[in-house]
A and B are shown apart, each in its own frame.
Chain A
Amino acid sequence: MDEYMLLLRHEDGSKIASPEQMQVWMKQTMDWIGTISAKGKFVKGTGLLFEGSKVVRWHGVVTDGPFGEIKETLGGQMIVKADSFEEAVEFAKGCPVLQGEGNSVEVRKIAKDDGVH
């Protein structure tokens, strides 16, 4: 069993969303995680806040951001256990973020500290 990281990217939806819609999204996220947890495949998940974010660049230059450089925001990440990329992708497919046009979930296998990977 390997661990996979799901990176949730979304465009800014706050302008169109009503509080009721937000409530629905939150519940869907919770239910989605519930489904993965029920299979014993959920490791952890966190939201990633945008504010105060910094980009550290080459030569140690630190800037605020990233602002205006990218269209999509990294809004959250979670780690699941899966036997294969296919299974991890199946989990990702249920992510409510994907309901928004242009949004995406990036699936990355986490390297094991076993000297092989």
Chain B
Amino acid sequence: MKDYLLVFRADFSLMPNRTPEEMQAMSKRWMDWIGSIAAQNKLAGVGNRLEGTGRVLKGDSTITNGPYAEIKESIGGYSIVKADSYEAAIELAKGCPILKQGGNVEVREISEN
């Protein structure tokens, strides 16, 4: 079993404003998905959701309001799962609700050391 990092990305600027009911339903989908991974005993770390705002520091010591302005997608959050292979990790990632919102999930194996 290895650990894989799942990074959730989406262009959040395109997301429509939601009613409280829609937000509730969205939150439930995330909870059910994480619960599903946990029920398979494959959740290594629930991770975090990230705020939409951020700062980016560059080598020339400039600081810009981020996240990266040049790309539309930003990281909305991450979780860590346990899986035997990339295929198995991808299987877990397939249920991620962000995929239905036009977002994507990057799957990265975490090196052991």
- A–B contact, 8 Å CB criterion (strictly below): no
